[in-house]
Homo-oligomer: A and B are copies of this chain.
Amino acid sequence: MSNFILDNALVLTMDDQFSMVADGAVAVRAGQIAAVGSSAQVVEQFPLWPRYDLQGRVLMPGLINCHTHLPMSLFRGLADDKELMDWLNNYIFPAEAATLNEDFVRTGTALSLWEMLRGGTTTVVDMYMFEKVVAKECARIGMRGVFAQAMIDFPTPEYRTWEESLEGTRQFIQDWKGHPLIIGAVGPHAPYTVSPEHLRECHRLAEELDAPLVIHLCETRSEVELIQERHGRTPVDHLDHLGCLSKRLVTAHMVWPQDGEIAKLARHGVGVGHCPQSNAKLACGIAPVVKMLQAGVHVGLGTDGCASNNDLDMWQEMQTANLLQKLSCNSPTVMTARDTLHMATLGGARAAHLDHLVGSIEVGKRADLIVVRLDAPHQTPVFDPISQLCYTTKSSDVTQVYIEGELVMSDGNVPAIEEAELRLAVAAEAERVQAILRR
A332 in contact with B82 given A326-B280, A327-B283 (CB within 8 Å): yes
Which of B76, B82, B394 is the one whose CB lies under 8 Å from A396?
A: B394
Choose among B80, B309, B332 the residue that contacts A83 (Cβ–Cβ < 8 A). B332
Partner of A80, one of B81, B331, B337, B382: B337
Q: How far, in whole Å, are A265 and B90 apart by their CA atoms in the complex?
A: 39
Q: Which of A177-185, A209-217, A313-321, A358-366 contacts B (4 or more CB under 8 A)?
A: A313-321
* Choice from B310, B326, B329 contacting A281 with Cβ under 8 Å: B326
Which of A15-23, A196-204, A236-244, A383-391 faces chain B?
A383-391
Residue in chain B with minimal CB distance to A433: B383
Interface membership of chain A positions 47-75, coded 1 if the CB is closer than 8 angstroms to chain B and 0 otherwise:
00000000000000000000000000110
Q: What residues of B have a CB within 8 angstroms of the CB of A323 in the complex? A: 277, 280-281, 320
- Which B residues touch A80, using CB under 8 A? 336-337, 384, 387, 390-391
Indicate whether A282 reaches chain B with its CB closer than 8 angstroms.
yes
Please tell me if the beta carbons of B332 and A381 are within 8 angstroms of each other in the complex: no
Judge if A118 is at the interface, Cβ distance under 8 Å.
yes
- Contact of A377 with B331 in the complex, beta carbons under 8 Å: no
Query: Given B81, B310, B377, B390, which contacts A332 in the complex, CB threshold below 8 Å?
Result: B81
Chain A's interface size range is: 35 or more
Chain B, Cβ-Cβ closest to A316 = B316
Segment touching B, from A161-169, A400-408, A422-430: A422-430
Question: Interface code A388-424, partner B: CB below 8 Å = 1, 0 otherwise?
Answer: 1011101110000000000000000000000000010
Q: List 22 A-B contacts (CB under 8 A).
A: A77-B384, A77-B387, A80-B337, A81-B335, A81-B336, A81-B337, A82-B332, A83-B332, A83-B333, A119-B378, A282-B326, A283-B326, A285-B327, A310-B387, A310-B391, A311-B378, A311-B391, A316-B316, A316-B319, A381-B430, A383-B433, A394-B394
